[in-house]
């Protein structure tokens, strides 16, 4: 028994030692495979060039996918390369087990026609070739230290721009493509003091640059490329908005009809639930029955001969009470179904949001371009419209109707104190937040829109 345990311990230790001795080889091979994946993507989709937007004509969603795969392989290659360096400095890469030796025999037979393991010089040459290939691939996507340091030093002494150029930059929307392409290797240069001040006005140089761009033979291709990207961005945004609307509604209807509805109906039949789910529903049913009784009595009074006998009135009231009770029971069950169906639709909405982070970035860029593309009067009109609807003088009536419908939809009693307290606090908080947004952000991004808003509001 002791011999068996000692044998198992010895085998485990030998296996662990062999696994640890293979760490440099394994790390180098994983880093090399990651670099090969990057090179294969460059050759197949970018014509052997660097994975970038200017190397091929792809949409924003496609480029975001390529960038995600590139970043994943780069991180893998860097981690495994660091692991190789650390482990190789400790144990070296000269320890190979039998499996590695067999693999070397196969590789040697395939490469140089020899059927024996590679010697130390050949192994060192292979390792150096792999390291050279990995460094060459990684260096394409790593900023140069001197250039990065220069940009950092320039950023520390950047001269503030004038107000006109600042407002132009803030008022212009930042597209999704610009966010993707803003890398440390960017060729943009900071304006120096000599660029700020010159003999001729800067507008003349801007005009000359615009004419140069218009006369450029490749300007038409750039316009077509921008149009295609804008078209793809619009299609992705509209499709994502439709998904955000249709997915929760479809989940609500299907779950209510086929999942929640049958369960609630079956539970109601077996357990004989109460007719009224809250007191407001009961008062509404009594009010309906009272109106029916008053109508029958009124019809008896307006005719010379009574139209209904007391027995007929009692029979009519009993039938009407049964009908009202059935309607109330159905409405109570429907409120319970709405609660669970709404929860499932919220879960579906959250899943769509969580699974569509790239589409959200594209949608944000699309909305920015759409909003900032409006004129100042259009922006002021939209601001006044929304503020008057949600925080204006007549907004409490709208909030009251909305809260009453939500309470009825969920089967909750209409608490008037809560509704009045909500109306007294929430629109005020919303108005304060909105005014802070105008003062803090909109006034800096588009001052002319704020001026137009104030003039129209006065």
- DSSP annotation of 132 reads H
Closest CA to 333 of 423, 261, 431: 261
Q: Same domain for 111 and 53?
A: yes
Q: Same domain for 406 and 356?
A: no
Q: Same domain for 7 and 60?
A: yes
Q: Per the domain annotation, does 221 fall within a domain?
A: no
Q: What pLDDT sits at residue 320?
A: 87
Q: Which residues contact 433 (CB under 8 A, 6 or more apart)?
A: none
Which pLDDT tens digit goes with each residue over 409-426?
888 888 888 889 998 899
Strand positions, DSSP E, 176-324: none
Over residues 432-437, the mean pLDDT reads: 88
Q: What pLDDT sits at residue 314?
A: 86
The CA distances from residue 219 to 216, 223, 224, 371, in Å, are 5, 6, 9, 27
Q: Same domain for 121 and 62?
A: yes
CB-CB contact of 374 with 276 (8 Å): no
Q: Same domain for 191 and 129?
A: no
pLDDT bucket at 66, cuts 50 / 70 / 90: confident
Q: Per the domain annotation, does 220 fall within a domain?
A: no
Give the residue, 356 or 446, on which the prediction is more confident.
356
Q: What pLDDT sits at residue 152?
A: 42
Q: What pLDDT sits at residue 104?
A: 47
Q: Per the domain annotation, does 222 fall within a domain?
A: no
pLDDT bucket at 17, cuts 50 / 70 / 90: low
Q: Same domain for 107 and 191?
A: no
- DSSP annotation of 274 reads -
**DSSP labels, 327-346:** HHHHHHHHHHHHHHHHHHHH
Number of domains in the chain: 4
On the question of pLDDT at 365 being above 80, the answer is yes
Q: Same domain for 6 and 130?
A: yes
Q: What pLDDT sits at residue 352?
A: 92
Q: Per the domain annotation, does 440 fall within a domain?
A: yes
Last residue of a domain, one of 338, 364, 390: 364
Which pLDDT tens digit goes with each residue over 330-354?
888 888 899 999 999 999 999 999 9
pLDDT bucket at 173, cuts 50 / 70 / 90: very low
- Cα–Cα distance for residue pair 232/57, rounded to 1 Å: 12
Report angle CA 420, 423, 425 to the nearest 5 degrees: 110
Give the residue, 407 or 102, on which the prediction is more confident.
407
On the question of pLDDT at 44 being above 60, the answer is yes
**Global model pTM greater than 0.75:** no
On the question of pLDDT at 286 being above 80, the answer is yes
Q: What pLDDT sits at residue 440?
A: 82
Q: Same domain for 11 and 135?
A: yes
Q: Which residues contact 234 (CB under 8 A, 6 or more apart)?
A: 366
Last residue of a domain, one of 142, 158, 177: 142
Give the residue, 292 or 5, on which the prediction is more confident.
292
Give the residue, 184 or 454, on which the prediction is more confident.
454
Phi, psi torsion values for 73, nearest 5 degrees: -70, -35
Which pLDDT tens digit goes with each residue over 188-229?
444 444 444 555 566 676 777 777 776 777 777 777 888 888
Q: Per the domain annotation, does 369 fall within a domain?
A: no
Provide the angle, in degrees to the nearest 10, between the axes of the packed helices 310-355 and 357-372: 100
Q: Same domain for 96 and 167?
A: no
Q: What pLDDT sits at residue 350?
A: 94
Q: Per the domain annotation, does 26 fall within a domain?
A: yes
Q: Per the domain annotation, does 200 fall within a domain?
A: yes
Average pLDDT along the chain: 75
Provide the b/e sequence for 332-367 (b: ≥16 CB within 10 Å). Answer: bbbbbbbebbbebbeebbeebeeebebbebbbebbe
Query: What residues make up the domain containing 153?
Result: 147-215
Closest CA to 39 of 65, 69, 83, 63: 69
pLDDT bucket at 4, cuts 50 / 70 / 90: low
Q: Same domain for 36 and 89?
A: yes
Over residues 369-383, the mean pLDDT reads: 84
Q: Same domain for 192 and 117?
A: no
Q: Same domain for 134 and 12?
A: yes
Last residue of a domain, one of 313, 342, 364: 364
CB-CB contact of 379 with 452 (8 Å): yes
CB-CB contact of 457 with 386 (8 Å): no
């Amino acid at each position: 028994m002791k011999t068996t345990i000692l044998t198992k311990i010895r085998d485990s230790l030998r296996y662990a030692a062999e696994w640890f001795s293979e760490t440099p080889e394994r790390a180098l091979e994983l880093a090399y495979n990651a670099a090969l994946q990057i090179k294969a993507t460059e050759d197949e989709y970018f014509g052997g060039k660097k994975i970038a937007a200017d190397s091929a004509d792809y949409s924003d969603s496609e480029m975001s996918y390529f960038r995600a795969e590139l970043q994943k392989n780069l991180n893998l290659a860097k981690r495994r390369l660091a692991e190789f360096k650390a482990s190789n400095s400790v144990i070296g890469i000269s320890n190979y087990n039998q499996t590695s030796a067999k693999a070397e025999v196969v590789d040697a037979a395939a490469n140089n026609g020899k059927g024996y393991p590679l010697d130390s010089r050949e192994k060192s040459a292979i390792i150096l070739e792999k390291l050279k290939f990995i460094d060459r691939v990684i260096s394409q996507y790593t900023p140069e230290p001197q250039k990065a340091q220069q940009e950092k030093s320039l950023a520390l002494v950047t001269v503030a721009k004038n107000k006109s150029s600042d407002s132009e930059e803030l008022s212009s929307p930042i597209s999704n493509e610009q966010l993707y392409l803003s890398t440390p290797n960017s060729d943009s240069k900071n304006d120096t003091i000599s660029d700020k001040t010159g003999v001729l006005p800067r507008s003349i140089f801007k005009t000359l640059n615009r004419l140069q761009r218009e006369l450029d033979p490749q300007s038409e291709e750039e316009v077509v490329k921008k149009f295609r990207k804008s078209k793809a961005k619009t299609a992705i945004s509209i499709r994502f908005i439709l998904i955000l609307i249709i997915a929760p509604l479809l989940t609500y209807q299907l779950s209510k009809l086929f999942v929640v509805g049958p369960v609630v109906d079956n539970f109601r039949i077996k357990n004989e639930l109460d007719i009224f789910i809250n007191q407001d529903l009961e008062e509404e049913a009594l009010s309906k029955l009272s109106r029916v009784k008053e109508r029958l009595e009124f019809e008896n009074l307006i005719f010379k001969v009574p139209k209904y006998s007391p027995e007929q009135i009692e029979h009519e009231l009993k039938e009407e009470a049964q009908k009202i009770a059935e309607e109330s029971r159905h409405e109570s069950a429907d409120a319970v179904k709405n609660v669970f169906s709404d929860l499932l639709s919220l879960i579906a909405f959250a899943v769509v949001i969580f699974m569509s982070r790239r589409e959200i970035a594209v949608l944000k860029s699309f909305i920015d371009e759409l909003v900032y593309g409006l004129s100042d009067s259009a922006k002021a009109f939209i601001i006044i419209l929304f503020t008057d609807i949600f925080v204006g003088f007549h907004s409490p009536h709208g909030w009251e109707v909305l809260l009453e419908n939500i309470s009825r939809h969920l089967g909750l009693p209409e608490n008037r104190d809560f509704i009045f307290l909500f109306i007294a606090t929430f629109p005020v908080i919303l108005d304060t937040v909105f005014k802070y947004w105008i003062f803090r952000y909109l006034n800096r991004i588009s001052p002319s829109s704020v001026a137009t808003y104030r003039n129209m509001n006065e």
